[in-house]
Chains A and B, each alone.
Chain A
Amino acid sequence: MYSWNFAPVLANSDLLLAGLWNTLALTFVALAGGLPVGLALALARLSGTRSLSVPAGIVIEVFRTTPPLVQLFWFYFGLPIVLNVEMTPYLAAALTFTIQSGAFFAEIFRAGIVSVDKGQREAARAIGMSSTQTMARIVLPQAVKRMFPAMMERSIELMKTTTLVATVSYADLLYQANELAQKTFRPLEVFTAAALIYFVTISLFSALGALVERRMAASGEMAAR
């Protein structure tokens, strides 16, 4: 019978917490980058100008259809050769996850924008708004509200996907856990603790998302789930 001993994990909890911090930092950077990239891709795809919509469509489909780990390896090992630059694990990860989550966000934005009734756009144009004004003042505020549940889900997926950076030696929670497991010879306790930390963190974020969702639903105009 195996006797569990969490003492070595607790003694090194600062390592795991530093890892968690890096995981959160990377998630927020990719989120902050991915949302504008996603909006830009969605607007380009919906623009009706072929020279914009075709490239945007290709970026969206390629990044949604290929495995994120392959993308990360391409950005980390491949891209520096094309651009002739140094690549750090952090930079490669931030770039990969920004574009990848941008591709997924783009489809959410697109669905949200398309879901706003066409009559509203026509009405806004009829009272003299430019198409940018119509988008910014009429369509997007309603679309964003409807998109919120899908956005939240995608952001949580993003946080889980950031574990892949451990494979290119960025010191996220999983990487730190792996190091600690080798140092302490206690893989069972260390990986169990890491899994629990992820579980608590992710559950907390989804509970927060559900709370905001209910608030928004109470104020109306929310897509039913």
Chain B
Amino acid sequence: MAYRWDFAPILDNWQALAAGIAGTLRLFLVCLVLGLGFGLLVALMRIARQRPLRWLAIGFIEFFRNTPVLVQILWFYFALPMLVAVEISPFMAAILGISLNSAAYSAEIYRGGIQSIEPGQWEAARSIGMSGFQTLRRIVLPQALRRVLPALTNRGIEIFKMTTLASVVAYVELLHQGKLVASLNFNPLEVYTVVGALFFLILYPLVRATYALERRLARSD
């Protein structure tokens, strides 16, 4: 009565899954760059001296951290086109939702890193004639980024996992392709096992690398 596993139909459909992996990687790379890049900008706004900038950043961070990312994706996909009269593709909706969400999270990571640099370093750099921007770029950021590197790679791993949510708006990524293969061959057990295993094989080395990075930074600091 034991179930007989049969992975042959999955091997026959490897091209569909490969196309899914390509879609996942494409979405991941775009969201990684946009999310972590925009996050740094939001962090700088968050610690800016001008009040309106600070409030804007706080509002953005709080809103995007305190709502589920799937709600954000669906909002951009179904609700935004009502407002701006443009066609939003599944790819676009997923990029907007995941990037802005990751920007809010990474902004708090950057802020923690920047604020962990002691004020004496700012004062020293200013006293030898550097501008505020020069101090930030040459003195504070290089050290801060080093300290928050493990937290950022963790964020990257979260972004990779979040890309599966794009399947809900029918963007062609690995889980979406898995759904397709499973419905054609009536083999959801094998397909989702393989999809899960693929994610694990891609992400686990990154998880291990993050652990190693954390240990190294803990030793050198």
Interface residues in chain A, defined as those with a beta carbon under 8 Å from any beta carbon in chain B: 2, 61-62, 64-71, 73-74, 77-79, 81-82, 84, 159-161, 163-164, 166-167, 174, 177-178, 181, 187-188, 190-192, 194-195, 198-199, 202-203, 206
Contact = CB atoms under 8 A, between A and B. Distances in A.
A174 B77 CA distance: 14
A124 B181 CA distance: 57
Interface of B: 1, 3, 62-63, 66-72, 74-75, 78-80, 82-83, 157, 160-165, 167-168, 175, 178-179, 182, 188-189, 192-193, 195-196, 199-200, 203-204, 207
Nearest to B76: A191
A187 B189 CA distance: 34
Contacts of B80: 188
A83 B160 CA distance: 30
Nearest to B80: A188
A167 B167 CA distance: 10
Secondary structure at the A interface, as helix, strand, loop or mixed, is helix
A81 B3 contact: yes
Interface centre among B82, B165, B193 (most CB of A within 10 A): B82
Contacts of B3: 81-82, 84
Contacts of A65: 157, 199-200, 203-204, 207
Contact of B62 (A62, A69, A177, A203): A203
B195 A191 contact: no
A70 B199 contact: yes
Contact of B74 (A69, A81, A178, A202): A178
Given A70-B195, A199-B66, A191 B71 contact: yes
A73 B192 contact: yes
